[in-house]
């Protein structure tokens, strides 16, 4: 009766991985219970997400072949575009189909963009690719595109490309405040990324919160419909500050490392798994997230019934 915060299925988004060239779903060792899906099992997972009343699914594609330019991302018959078509065909408008707009799943060097000759990510060339990618995702059926690469100007370029393609109704969930974090570790296994170096030239310094507010303000000005803070747990203060600074919906990403820590400790009997999951999700909501991307989304929604 007096609880100030709740976590409802329609506030949760389930990230799903789909890989090219696998016959069976492939477990992700560092994320117990999470797999790389085949197209077939992805379809089933999307239907299950919709049936559980989730807000949406966020799709990440893992191509069989990666290259320096991440060319698979612009292939209309590539893994992510095929998966988006399949997902949308399964769920229609019963839950939102969202797509990761980023190159790290597609590049052989694992960076979120293409590289200049000196090895640094080329912001502007990358933004052009994101814009094209987003238009392909929209054409494949995405309701929401989610640029996660933290390139400057990505939201404006994507909005323009979507509008030019007649996809005015497709929304942009912008990773506004995304930190260069160790907590993405298991995700690298999930998308088979062999990152060389780090992402500090484009992701944020964990020491900064005012910088996050500047980044978010730029995204809002460029046309973001939703802004995200990521990771969640170590950044609840950032989440609160962003919630107070903007009037558009705010999302938080409860990332792979946050998931893995709870699962690993629970596996050893060091922590009460269900209680830790509940506390995690409630804290993120309490800090100000309207919606949460979490690998526990389906389990939580089913458990609430």
**CB-based contacts of 93, cutoff 8 Å, min separation 6:** 143
Whole-angstrom distance, CA of residue 250 vs CA of residue 225: 9
**Dihedral (Cα; 137, 101, 120, 198), 10-degree rounding:** -150
Asked if 129 interacts with ligand PBG (CB under 6 A), we say no
Asked if 172 interacts with ligand PBG (CB under 6 A), we say no
Asked if 179 interacts with ligand PBG (CB under 6 A), we say no
Asked if 80 interacts with ligand PBG (CB under 6 A), we say no
Size of the site for ligand PBG (CB under 6 A): 10
Closer to ligand PBG by CB, 1 or 30: give it: 30
**Span from 43-51, 71-79, 96-104, 221-229 in contact with ligand PBG (CB under 6 A):** 96-104
Task: Tell which one of 20, 90, 100, 219 touches ligand PBG (CB under 6 A).
Answer: 100
Phi and psi for 4 in degrees, rounded to 5? -90, -15
Closer to ligand PBG by CB, 168 or 201: give it: 201
- Alpha helices by DSSP H, listed for 145-292, are 154-164, 185-190, 210-222, 236-245, 256-267, 273-286
Whole-angstrom distance, CA of residue 264 vs CA of residue 262: 6
Q: How far is the CB of 272 from ligand PBG (least distance, A)?
A: 23
Burial class (CB in 10 A: 0-12, 13-18, 19+), 5: exposed
Asked if 148 interacts with ligand PBG (CB under 6 A), we say yes
Task: Tell which one of 184, 202, 235, 296 touches ligand PBG (CB under 6 A).
Answer: 184
- Alpha helices by DSSP H, listed for the chain, are 39-51, 79-91, 123-140, 154-164, 185-190, 210-222, 236-245, 256-267, 273-286, 297-303
Closer to ligand PBG by CB, 116 or 200: give it: 200
Q: How far is the CB of 1 from ligand PBG (least distance, A)?
A: 35
Whole-angstrom distance, CA of residue 245 vs CA of residue 290: 14
Closest CA to 146 of 224, 85, 79, 206: 224
Task: Tell which one of 84, 102, 229, 250 touches ligand PBG (CB under 6 A).
Answer: 102
Asked if 104 interacts with ligand PBG (CB under 6 A), we say yes
Q: How far is the CB of 41 from ligand PBG (least distance, A)?
A: 19
User: What residues act catalytically?
Assistant: 178, 230
Closer to ligand PBG by CB, 90 or 105: give it: 105
Binding site for ligand PBG (CB under 6 A): 100, 102, 104, 112, 148, 184, 187, 199, 255-256
């Amino acid at each position: 009766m007096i609880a100030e915060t709740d976590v409802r299925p329609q506030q949760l988004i389930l990230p799903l991985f789909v890989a090219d060239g696998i016959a069976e779903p492939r477990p992700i060792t560092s994320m117990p219970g999470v797999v790389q899906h085949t197209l077939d099992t992805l379809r089933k997972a999307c239907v299950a997400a919709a049936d559980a009343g989730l807000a949406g699914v966020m799709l990440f594609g893992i191509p069989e072949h990666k290259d320096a330019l991440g060319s698979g991302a612009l292939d209309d018959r590539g893994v992510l575009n095929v998966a988006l078509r399949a997902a949308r065909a399964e769920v229609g408008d019963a839950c939102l189909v969202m797509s990761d707009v980023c190159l790290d799943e597609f590049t052989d060097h694992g960076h979120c963009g293409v590289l200049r000759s000196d090895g640094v990510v080329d912001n502007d060339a990358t933004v052009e690719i994101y814009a094209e990618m987003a238009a392909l995702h929209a054409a494949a059926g995405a309701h929401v595109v989610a640029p996660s690469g933290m390139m400057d100007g990505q939201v404006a370029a994507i909005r323009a490309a979507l509008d030019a393609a007649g996809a005015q109704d497709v929304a942009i969930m912008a990773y506004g405040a995304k930190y260069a974090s160790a907590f993405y570790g298991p995700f690298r296994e999930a998308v088979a990324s062999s990152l060389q170096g780090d992402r500090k030239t484009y992701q944020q310094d964990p020491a900064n919160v005012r910088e996050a507010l500047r980044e978010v303000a730029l995204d809002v000005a460029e046309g973001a419909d939703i802004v995200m803070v990521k990771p969640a747990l170590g950044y609840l203060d950032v989440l609160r500050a962003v919630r107070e600074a903007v009037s558009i919906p705010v999302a938080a990403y409860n990332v792979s490392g946050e998931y893995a820590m709870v699962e690993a400790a629970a596996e050893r009997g060091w922590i009460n798994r269900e209680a830790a999951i509940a506390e995690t999700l409630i804290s993120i909501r309490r800090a100000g997230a309207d919606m949460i991307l979490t690998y526990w989304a389906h389990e939580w929604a089913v458990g609430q019934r």
